[in-house]
Chain A
Amino acid sequence: QVQLQESGPGLVRPSGTLSLTCVVSGGSISSSNWWNWVRQPPGKGLEWIGDIYHSGSPNYNPSLKSRVTISVDKSKNQLSLKLTSVTAADTGVYYCAIPSRGIGAFDVWGQGTMVTVSA
């Protein structure tokens, strides 16, 4: 069973860049899968950020497309997220998630990592 573990700085300054990683264990990031990032502001709902196939181009939420970069590091078996020009609205829990059984739905999630944007 694939497991996902997010990590990164818990505090980012406004206008800075949010950088997170998601380490994959129990499986290979080169497997046939779409690797996703989802976020959740405090007390609010889920928002899909984007996804990437290990050998393809990423897809991004149009509302974030100008600021987000998702990439895969096969040597480290991990997924990365970079979000530039952050504001307080980017504060929240960030999850990586995958449809591990090819069912389209996200059946494997990381535990999430909280990121606060504040001076």
Chain B
Amino acid sequence: QSVLTQPPSVSGAPGQRVTISCTGTSSNIGAGYDVHWYQQLPGTAPKLLIYGTTNRPSGVPDRFSGSKSGTSASLAITGLQAEDEADYYCQSYDSSLSGSQVFGGGTKLTVL
């Protein structure tokens, strides 16, 4: 059971907008710690998608955006494309676990 909770799956048609939630607690996201998002294609290492809750590394399309409110964060993907089909993970820091990095359980995005 992951410290950060994500929906197991989401889906959307090409061109649509989808959001993936990441729910934490007052000791991680709610404490103000940054949230990071990763995209993982089958058989590959995770790729950084969003860092510092809202920032995109160079090369990541602006179709991807991040936000946070209270103890939850969200990843939004607009203009959905077939190549976006992948697993997505959120990550933050948890102060109640002896200073641990924590991941969400992951969300499988299916492009219909």
Contacts and interface: CB of A to CB of B under 8 A. Distances in A.
Interface of A: 36, 38, 44-48, 51, 59-62, 65, 95, 97, 103-107, 109-112
Given A59-B99, A62-B100, A105 B91 contact: yes
A59 B97 CA distance: 10
A45 B45 contact: no
Interface of B: 2, 34, 36, 38, 44-48, 51-52, 55, 57, 89, 91, 93, 97-106
Nearest to B57: A107
Contacts of A112: 45
A58 B35 CA distance: 22
23 contacts: A44-B106, A45-B2, A45-B104, A46-B91, A46-B103, A47-B103, A48-B101, A48-B102, A59-B99, A61-B97, A62-B97, A95-B45, A95-B46, A103-B52, A104-B52, A105-B52, A105-B91, A106-B46, A106-B91, A107-B48, A107-B51, A109-B46, A111-B44
A85 to B, nearest CB: 20
A104 B104 CA distance: 16
B101 A51 contact: yes
Contact of B89 (A45, A60, A61): A45
Given A46-B91, A48-B101, A105-B51, 6 more contacts: A46-B89, A104-B36, A105-B36, A105-B48, A105-B52, A107-B51
B98 A106 contact: no
A61 B45 CA distance: 20
A66 to B, nearest CB: 13
Given A45-B89, A62-B98, A106 B103 contact: no
Contacts of B45: 95, 109-112
Given A45-B89, A109-B46, A59 B52 contact: no
B50 to A, nearest CB: 8
